[in-house]
Each structure stands twice: as C-alpha cells, then as structure tokens.
Structure 1
Amino acid sequence: MEPAREDRPPDLVAALARARSPERPGPDTPAGGAVRAWPGPPTAFPKAGPEDVDVQVLLRLSLAASDGSGRLRPAPSAGALHPVDTELAVGAGCSLPPGRYGYDPLRHRVHRLGGQPDGTPPGVTARLSVTARRTVSHYGHRARPLLLLDTGHAAAALYLAARALGVSEPDVRLDGLAESPLAVVHIPPPDRRGPVHPAGSARVPAPSEGRPAPAELLARRSAPPPLPGAPSPAALSAVLTTAARAGAGDLRWCAAVGPPQPGLVKPAAGGATLRRYAAGEARPTLAAWAAGQAWIADAGAVVLAVGCPDHADAPHIRRAHLRAGFAVHLAHVTARRHGLAARPVGSWQQADLGAALGAAPGRDWVVHALALGTRHADEENIT
C-alpha cells in the first residue's frame, strides 16, 4: 500500500522555507490513529532481572500515555498530537526476549515483529520515526519542523529514563542523515546493579543535576500560559547552560529577558553567569513570530535555539531540529528543578533573529524555544 501523501519524505528545504513564512495553515484534517497499529497480539512485559534493562519501566518513564486519550505523556508534542513511533531492537541483557518490537504508548504494551536483527548490541535500541499525518492534520505546512522537534524530545525522554535506571551513557544518535528512523537511542544494560524501584517507592533516588529520579520524570509537564515572573540569574544560567551543552554544534543559545534590563543574554564563559549581548525588549516580537502567541510577551524569560540558515541542506535541517528538541527537553527538566514553570514553543514564522539584530538575513533563525516563569510552591496545577 502506498503511504499517505503527508507521510512521504518531503523536500525538506522547501518545506522549512514554507513553514517559516507567514502563510497560515488551512482547516484541520483527520489525524488518523493516535498510535501506530502494530501487527499481531501484544506481548507481556516480563519481570526484569537485576542486571537487565527494565524495558517496561524505561518506556513508562519516557513515552507512555497516562490518560485514556493518549495526549498526556512525559515527552511534549506540538498540539499533543504525538507523531513519534518507536520500534525496539532488543538484545541480551533486557527484560524482553531478543527480537524486534513495536511499542504502543497508549496501552503501554509491545508487539513482537520478528527476530533479533543481526548485530543487535546488548540492551535495547529505540528507532524513532514519525507518522506525519497526526501533526499535519492541525499544523498543515508548518508540521515538518515540529515533527523533528517532537522526535528530539522523545529521544531526550528515553535518554533521561535510561539515566534514571542507572545507565551512565545512553547512546543518542541525532545525525540527521536519514528520514527514517530520524533518531536512534541505544540503552545498554545498567551500570548500577540491583533492582530499580519505580516512582512511589521509598527507595526512589533523590533528584540530582546528574541523574533524574523516576518521580520527577513522570511529573514533568508543559505549564499552561501565562508564565510570568523573571527567573533568577542563577536559575536562568543553569537552564541556558543545560541547553547549550546538550544542543551544541549547529545551534547557538540565548534568552530574552524583560525589565529592569530587557534584552538578550548568553551564558558567560564557564556557564556560571550570564552575559548581556543585546539591549531592548524582544519578547513582544517573539510572541508575534511564535504563531501570534501573545502570552510570550509577558513570559519571565524565553530561551532560544538559533541557527539553521537558509542554505542548510536536509541533513543539516534534520540535525538542528532534532538537537534543538533534545536540548530543550533536558533544559525543561533543569527548569523544573529550579522551581520554574516552563513550556516548549516550537512553531516560528519569520523569526530571523539575526536580521532583527542587524546581521545578514537568513542565517540565524529561531529553531525552538522554552518559555520560563516563576511559580509558588503550591502552584502545581500544570497539564
């Protein structure tokens, strides 16, 4: 059967140029199924041994839906449409028997697709692709960059879940060379021995900057606007530094801040402090560029990933957007650890920040963002 038109590989250069234009999407179209229909009956998750990757817990902490509609998941998605599909190649040292599996995040179950591929390493390898129709149904021609950002967020969710399970260095590949899979995350058997205790257990490890706790991964959500209140310089520096380290290479990172000294700031050398490099109030312009989301003009701060010039080829476009999604996801977790409300912002039109600052046009586009605000300790009603 021929794939639906919206799921065929696009001319990504042309698609990005159109997504950045002021053209508005047309009416919504049917989104299709909320998850991919994997063949065959579901396979139960076996109990994990003390030296195995617990695939059931890994997926619960990263990709599983926690509501009946399938919209509420640990990894954010534009419009809560969740286009990312996950296929697993399972090797030795996993709770699942070796083989290929498709994951259903709505029902939190796997479907066995076949035997273990040749050369499968120990642990589990997640191959991330997209069903574009889900996002195209609402965002139309603006969907292509959002699909890539969503995939980067999903890769980061798997990375953080693996870290919570005691894996010191999950291997994340976001090279942008292939249209499918867009990203690959390999999770070897954990370095730490002994059972992992899921959220709710008294033995859950406490959060730290280096390794997340399962409970904090399950609790992460995008805060609803408005997001007022300026983050402290220390908190903003921590969020920016996390993003800059995770999304280095094709992207540059800065943040728009408001009074008393509105402007753009960057992490200073060493990342401990902030350096102001442009003066003036940028947040209203960002609100206009972000599909007219007026609340951004009053956000406490807006962290920006900038890059992906007009001359970028398809691998560059994929790589920059995948890394932006990955980095913003990690920065979001850092923001929550510093008591901040945060919301990713992925749709940007005419957002040529470099040209707005007087540089050559077409070189420094806003690729992704994380809006930040403060909240009191009892303000936990986020969705």
Structure 2
Amino acid sequence: MEYVGEVGAVRYSREAGPVERGRGAGLGEHGRGAGLGEHGRGAGLGEHGRGAGPVKRSREDAPGDHAREAAPGDHAREAAPGEHAHEARLMEPAREDRPVDLVTALARARSPENPGPDTPAGPAVRAWPGPPSPIPEARAGELDLRALLRLSLAASDDSGRLRPAPSAGALHPVDAQLVVGTRCPLPPGRYGYDPLRHPVHRLGREPDGALPGATVELSVTPQRTASHYGHRAWPLLLLDTGHAAAALWLAARALGTYASVPRLDGLAEDPLAAVHFAPPQRVGRVSQPEEPSDVPAPRELLARRSAPPPLGGTPSRDVLRTLLTTAVQASADELAWCAAVGEPQPELVELAPDGTLRRLAAGEARPTLAVWAAGQAWIADAGAVLLAYGCPADADAARIRRTHLRAGFAVHLAHLTAVRNGLAARPVGSWQQADLGAALGAAPGRDWIVHGLALGTTHPDEEKTS
C-alpha cells in the first residue's frame, strides 16, 4: 500500500510561538514559499519542485540496523558501462596514491540516483595478519580491555550482525585497531581486533609516545556497506563510525572506571576516529562531551537494538526536550537539531536558549521525510523523528567527516536515552535531496539532513498483541 498523505502548506518562522498557516507554499520549493509541505500531489516536503514521487513501501532492514531501503526496482536496474568502476573508486579505502573524493561522494549520495545491484560484501571481519590471541583477564590496576570491547564492538551472534553499535544494513564496516600502552592485560603494541571471535592479532610495536592504557582507532572497509548501498555508502560509513565511537565511550562509563576522550575532529582519513581509555588509577575529570545524567548499566548496552517499524505514538514534550538536549550537547556545536512531531499537532520543534521546546515550523513533515529517507513509508507514521542537519554543500572533506561522525555519536547517545525513557527508536541514516533549510525557505544547500532517529511510544511487539 502506498502512502499519499495530505499536508497543508504552512508559513515558516524561526521565532518562538505559533506559525501561521498559509496556502500554496510547498516545503521543498526552494524560495517560492516557506511552507512545510504541500503533499497532496504525493511529493510533499521533499519535492524540491521536481521528481519526488509518492512514498513507496520498501524492503525492511533487519532489526538492529540503520533504516534505509531502496525504492522498488532500484536493484533491478542495469549499471551503465563503467558505472561500477566509478563506484568502486569512490568506495575504496583512502590511500595516499588514491584518496577518496569525499565531497563528490557525498554530493552523489544526496542525489536521487538509485543504487545499482548488490555486489559481494566480502568477509564480515577484516583478515588481520598473524595468529589470533585471546585478550587476557585484567588484573588489579589494569584497563579491562576484554569487558570494554564486549560492551561496545563485539558481535553477539555467529553472523556478526548483532552488536551493541547499530550499522546500516547490519553490514558493520567499522574496523578497530588497539594501540596498547602500559597497565593493560596485553603487552604494549598495536593490535587488530576481531569482533566476531573476540581475539586480537598483534600487528607491531606501539608508536612512540603511546599513552598508558589503550587507544581504539576506528577505520572502515567501505565495500561492506557499498555492497548494498552503492554510491550512498560514504555518509553511512561515517555515521557508523560515530555510532561505534559512542558505543566505546558508553562502555567506559558503564564500567565505571575509565575516562575516554573521543577524537571526532574529521582531520584524518585513517583512522577516522579514535577513543582513548586511561588505566583505572589515573581516571579524572577529562574533557569529554556531555552525557546522559546517569551512568548506563552494562546490560543496557548489550540489549540496545533498533526497533523494527512501525513506531507509533508521539513522545511527550518532556522526553523530546531530553532527547534534543542530549543530541545538542553530544554534537559539540557541529550540527543543528529539531524533531518532526506527529499527533496531536504536527510541527517541527527545536530547543530554545532557555532549554524549553519552541516551534520551528508548523505542519506535517513526516511524509516528506519518508520520501527523503530512501522512500521508507513507515517513517510517515512514526511518532516523531529526531533530525540532525547542517553540513552545507560546499563543506570540505574534514567538515563532512566531522559532522557525520558527530551525528552518529549524538544519535547513539540519544537512542540510549530514548530507550531509557520507554520509547522504541530506530536510526535513519540514508537521506536523498533532504535540504531541510531550503524546504523551510532558507538559502538552498546549507542545511542538509545528516542523520535521524525515528521514535515511537508503541513497540511493534506490543502492537501485535493489542
């Protein structure tokens, strides 16, 4: 069944307070009106004046993944001559002799172009050289690497799909190397981590100046994600890396001893991110992002799963305020945040300077978000959708990396906060033509949706039994 909703046109306002309804201004019309969307023609907020058709049903992701699905028939399309070679160049790991053109890759990922047919994903885990070694149990005064990795990166099933950090399509492209210093159960050195079987492979000696404790460096194997998402892979790779960094950081907090400082500055291509963990005796107050007010329990991190749709029921305004606060603090001023809310009064809300909620725009945005999010119709019925936006079209590679890493990090923390408040939640990572700023009447190309978190008060299993 296709979803074609009716959305009244609205007038946009950045001031707190009510937003007046208007007539005839579609949200996506880039300057011909500042409304939230005229969806009666099946395009709505994301119309951009051309080509966005009605929201279509699509194949579901497996539970625990970012939500993205291809529109019907997009995998059946034959690739044009040379297209796979061009895609492969964009998907290959960065190397000094062949760097990834991230600016071009992001522009293409944001376009309406559909991915081609699926290609082989390759091994679920990187083939590290050398024999595997178990991670020893930590002794008194040592960093508990085994517990830290099990609470953050380790798979809980034989296929490797179920892990504490979500991943688009459960493809898990993020690889981890450990730079181990003193006061760890492993001898100092550099190690590759196998999240499927949980051993490490010694790769060499530690670099000069390695800190006590351990640093986990995160890089990606692009082909795992590109195998299904094609040219849309690079934003998802960066978001997945941000989620993995957040999972590591939360694991340290859950263990109650170690201070971690995430590096998410976007300056390096490899590793994309790093998180350092100090040994127990030297834990102190270090510079780190704001976190949920209470410490998570290990069981909460292991139980985190992305809820399968549908996600019905609008969260309370108090809970939305808490989620927006968590996301804003965790994103370190790299992104703006709002939430598209459904019943009883559809609107976009954001945090005011005093910490309360204020209206960003009035009107129904969710059907258009469903169009923008690879045509996933269930998003039109979600209770609310938390949105990170920014990363302008002229952003350089470092800024692209930084904003996407921060978005993944922040959405992961918001996801945990949502679950702790009794909500069902599911990350939404793939967005096409999602120029939210232009849709709201601002200059085009400045405020693109980078990441989302769909929310509902009703869990799917409850809906089945009701």
Equivalent-residue separation in structure 2 for 1:374 and 1:32 (angstroms): 38
Relative to structure 1, is the Cα distance of residues 191 and 156 closer, same or farther in structure 2, using a 3 angstrom cutoff? farther
Establish whether residue 54 from structure 1 lines up as the match of residue 124 from structure 2: no
SS of aligned partner of 1:62 = coil
Q: Is the 8 A contact 1:166 1:192 kept in 2?
A: no
Number of the residue aligned with 1:133: 223
> Residues of 2 paired with 1:275 and 1:374: CA distance?
21
Task: State the Cα distance separating 1:144 from its structure 2 match.
Answer: 0.6
* 5+ long unaligned stretches in structure 1: 194-207
Residues 167 and 192 in structure 1, CA contact (< 8 A), matched pair in contact too: no
Match of 1:104 in 2: 194
Aligned equivalent of 2:68 = none
Moved more, 125-134 or 164-173: 164-173
Write the mapping of 1:242-257 to structure 2, written as runs, cut at 5 A.
242-257=326-341
In 2: Cα distance, 1:191 partner to 1:217 partner: 24
Q: Is the 8 A contact 2:134 2:198 kept in 1?
A: no
| Residue correspondence of structure 1 range 5-20 to structure 2 within 5 A | 5=89, 6-9=91-94, 10-20=100-110
- Larger displacement relative to structure 2 (45-54 or 357-366): 45-54
Letter matched to residue 183 of structure 2: G
The residue type paired with residue 278 of structure 2 is P
Q: Match of 2:334, as an amino acid?
A: D
CA displacement, residues 32-73 of structure 1 (integer Å, 9 cap, x when unaligned):
110100111111221212322110100000000001111111
Which residue of 1 is the match for residue 357 of structure 2?
274
Task: For residue 280 of structure 1, report the CA deviation from its aligned partner.
Answer: 0.4
Query: Quick one: distance in 2 between partners of 1:28 and 1:137?
Result: 5
Q: In percent, how many aligned pairs have the same letter?
A: 74
CA offset at residue 192 of structure 1? Answer: 9.1
The alignment's C-alpha RMSD in Å is 1.8
1:108-128 CA-partner distances (Å, limit 9, x unpaired): 111111222211101110110
How far apart in 1 are the matches of 2:259 and 2:272?
20
Query: Cα offset for 1:166?
Result: 1.9
Q: Do residues 212 (structure 1) and 296 (structure 2) align?
A: yes
CA distance in 1, matches of 2:175, 2:349: 36
Instruction: Letter of the 2:447 partner, please give it.
Output: D
Q: Quickly say closer, same or farther: Cα 1:234–1:133, change in 2 above 3 A.
A: same
TM-score by length of 1: 0.91
Q: CA deviation at 1:377?
A: 12
Deviation of residue 348 (structure 1)? 0.1
Structure 1 residues 378 and 366, CA, compared in 2 at 3 Å: closer, same or farther?
Answer: closer
The Cα offsets for residues 249-289 of structure 1, whole Å up to 9 and x where unpaired, read as 22000000012211100123343x31112100000000000
Q: TM-score with structure 2 length normalisation?
A: 0.75
- What are the equivalent positions in structure 2 for 1:47-196 lying under 5 Å apart? 47-167=137-257, 169-190=259-280
Counterpart code for 2:317:
P
Residue 41 (1) aligns with residue 126 (2): no
- In 2, the alpha carbon distance for the partners of 1:295 and 1:192 equals 48
Q: Aligned letter for 1:7?
A: E
Q: Is the 8 A contact 1:166 1:191 kept in 2?
A: no
- Displacement after TM superposition at 1:344 (Å): 0.4
1:80 alignment partner, SS class: coil
The alpha-carbon deviation at position 380 of structure 1 amounts to: 11
- Residue 289 of structure 1 corresponds to 372
Q: Deviations over 1:224-273 (max 9, x none)?
A: 011001111111111111011001322000000012211100123343x3
Count of residue pairs brought into register by the alignment: 363
For 1:305, the equivalent position in structure 2 comes to 388
Which has the higher mean CA deviation after the structures are superposed, 7-16 or 357-366?
7-16
Looking at structure 1, the residues matched to 462 and 277 of structure 2 have their Cα atoms a distance apart, in angstroms, of 35
Give the aligned residue type for 2:414: A
Q: Which stretch shows the higher mean deviation, 4-13 or 150-159?
A: 4-13
Tell me the secondary structure at the aligned position of residue 178 of structure 1: coil
Instruction: Write the letter of the residue equivalent to 1:328.
Output: V
Aligned to 1:200: none
**Alignment partner of 2:301: what SS?**
helix
- Conserved? CA contact 1:167–1:187, under 8 Å: no
Match of 2:406 among 307, 313, 323: 323
The yes-or-no answer on 1:354 pairing with 2:437 is: yes
